[in-house]
């Protein structure tokens, strides 16, 4: 079952908006960052990763965002282009901003953390005037990410993009992707997440993220069904609630409930699991697959990414995902 319909006449399959940044991944892993000597540079940021994932899967993909006017900003644009992502709406910020950074620390496969540089980040300089109605009109689907709502003027740019997306019938995916830094208060976060989510078709987030959005309501038991019903009262058709290692569940407006699957993996680190899942899942829905097959495809993509050192660079192709699923079924891949 797949409750979404995409306008086949639109030339762009998928446009992601928001954060474009740099991951600096520790090369010497399984130790604290104090003892790391060298780092490898990758393009990062949740919507960037998902866009790269979609492009690897062969979707005609575009991006809307701002990059810093420096070497790292130019590296990001070049990398997107090398991955066949349209950068017509990726603008260079001239305000003196810098590229957001994420230093990753991998103490063990299950003990990972990130040291973020988000002050004066170029991606949060996105302005309403950067949102090109004609560009969004061409997109079958768009994806927004919660971090882009954290500060003005990016917040207003995203709210305007939602207006245009609704006006022109794009399907809107909202990857909640809540990061406490950048936000002033939990109340501020909840207010803008709710305003944005009211206008979205598919919500994807962790149980904690959905609970954060319910601070002005009663759902003390953190009941998934209650959460999903709330959003079906607005625009949503699909709500995916992730419960960490207990797996995720997709709810539909029609009242169905699809528990997810997981695949074995030789885990290097947990970063990127959500982004690769999102790319695989959205890809499936856009192929018209039913929700079960889409979530399975997302889960396999996630297993591939957490088995590698990077996020963006590791985003798999359809062939890779299918091969991985086949190998798991054969018993060729077992977990770490």
Would you say the C-alpha torsion 290, 275, 163, 92 has a positive or negative sign?
negative
- The helix/strand/coil state of 209 is helix
Q: How far is the CB of 38 from its own copies (least distance, A)?
A: 5
Residues in the chain: 336
Residue 38 touching its own copies (CB under 8 A): yes
Residue 264 touching its own copies (CB under 8 A): no
Whichever of 3 and 153 has its CB closer to its own copies, that residue is 153
Residue 75 touching its own copies (CB under 8 A): yes
Select from 3, 92, 109, 128 the one that contacts its own copies (CB under 8 A).
128
Residue 311 DSSP code: S
Site residues (CB under 8 A) for its own copies, limited to 224-253: none
Select from 30, 58, 78, 336 the one that contacts its own copies (CB under 8 A).
78
Distance of CA 301 to the CA centre of its chain: 13
Residue 134 touching its own copies (CB under 8 A): no
Stretch that binds its own copies, among 26-34, 81-89, 136-144, 232-240 (CB under 8 A): 26-34
Residue 24 touching its own copies (CB under 8 A): yes
Q: Which residues pair with 249 in a beta bridge?
A: 241, 259
Whichever of 50 and 160 has its CB closer to its own copies, that residue is 160
Contacts of 239 (CB under 8 A, 6+ apart): 202, 203, 227, 228, 231, 232, 250, 251
Residue 310 DSSP code: -
Phi and psi at residue 304, to the nearest 5° = -65, -45
Residue 115 touching its own copies (CB under 8 A): yes
Stretch that binds its own copies, among 84-92, 159-167, 258-266, 272-280 (CB under 8 A): 159-167
Q: What is the side-by-side order of every strand in the sheet holding 248-252?
A: 86-93, 61-68, 12-17, 139-145, 171-175, 202-206, 238-242, 248-252, 257-259
Residue 180 touching its own copies (CB under 8 A): no
Residue 152 touching its own copies (CB under 8 A): yes
Select from 29, 92, 127, 179 the one that contacts its own copies (CB under 8 A).
127
Specify burial of residue 95 (Cβ count, 10 A radius: 0-12, 13-18, 19+): exposed
132-138-142-144 Cα dihedral, nearest 10 degrees: 0
Residue 193 touching its own copies (CB under 8 A): no
CA distances to 67, 93, 116, 202 from 182, in Å: 18, 19, 10, 24
Spatial CA neighbour of 323 closest among 309, 302, 304, 295: 304
Q: How far is the CB of 151 from its own copies (least distance, A)?
A: 10
276-281-287-288 Cα dihedral, nearest 10 degrees: 180
Select from 63, 164, 178, 183 the one that contacts its own copies (CB under 8 A).
164
Q: How far is the CB of 6 from its own copies (least distance, A)?
A: 24
Residue 211 touching its own copies (CB under 8 A): no
Stretch that binds its own copies, among 28-36, 54-62, 271-279, 292-300 (CB under 8 A): 28-36
CA distances to 17, 47, 111, 148, 176 from 144, in Å: 5, 7, 28, 8, 8
Stretch that binds its own copies, among 44-52, 151-159, 201-209, 250-258 (CB under 8 A): 151-159
Residue 255 touching its own copies (CB under 8 A): no
Stretch that binds its own copies, among 186-194, 261-269, 280-288, 314-322 (CB under 8 A): 186-194
Contact set with its own copies (CB under 8 A):
24, 27, 32-34, 36-41, 70-72, 74-75, 78, 98, 101, 103, 105, 115, 117, 119-120, 127-129, 133, 152-153, 156, 159-160, 163-164, 184-185, 187-188, 191-192, 194-195, 216
């Amino acid at each position: 079952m797949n409750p979404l319909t995409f306008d086949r006449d639109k030339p762009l399959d998928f446009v992601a908006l928001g954060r474009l940044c740099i991951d600096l991944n520790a090369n010497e892993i399984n130790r604290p960052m104090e003892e790391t000597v060298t780092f490898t540079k990758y393009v990062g940021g949740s919507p960037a990763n998902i866009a790269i994932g979609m492009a690897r899967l062969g979707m005609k993909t575009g991006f809307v965002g701002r990059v810093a006017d420096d070497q790292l900003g130019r590296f990001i644009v070049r990398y997107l282009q090398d991955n066949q992502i349209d950068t017509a709406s990726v603008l260079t910020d001239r305000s003196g901003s810098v590229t957001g950074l994420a230093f990753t620390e991998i103490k063990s496969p299950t003990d990972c953390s990130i040291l973020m540089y988000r002050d004066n980040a170029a991606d949060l300089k996105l302005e309403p005037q950067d949102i090109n109605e004609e560009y969004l009109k061409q997109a079958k689907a768009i994806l927004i990410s919660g971090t882009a709502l954290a500060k003005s003027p990016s917040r207003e740019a995203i709210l305007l993009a939602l207006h245009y997306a609704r006006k022109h019938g794009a399907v809107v995916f909202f990857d909640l992707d809540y990061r406490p830094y950048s936000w002033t208060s939990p109340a501020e976060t909840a207010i803008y997440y709710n305003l944005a989510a009211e206008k979205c078709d598919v919500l994807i987030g962790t149980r904690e993220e959905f609970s954060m959005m319910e601070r002005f309501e009663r759902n003390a038991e953190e009941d998934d069904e209650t959460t999903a019903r709330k959003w079906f009262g607005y625009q949503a058709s699909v709500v995916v609630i992730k419960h960490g290692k207990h797996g995720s569940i997709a709810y539909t407006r029609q009242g169905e409930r699809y528990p997810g699957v997981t695949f074995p993996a030789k885990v290097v680190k947990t970063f990127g699991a959500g982004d690769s899942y999102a790319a695989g899942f959205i890809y499936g829905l856009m192929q018209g697959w039913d929700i079960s097959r889409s979530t399975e495809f997302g889960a396999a993509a996630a297993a591939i990414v957490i088995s590698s050192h990077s996020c963006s660079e590791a985003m798999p192709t359809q062939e890779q995902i299918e091969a991985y699923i086949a190998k798991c079924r054969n018993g060729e891949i077992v977990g770490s």
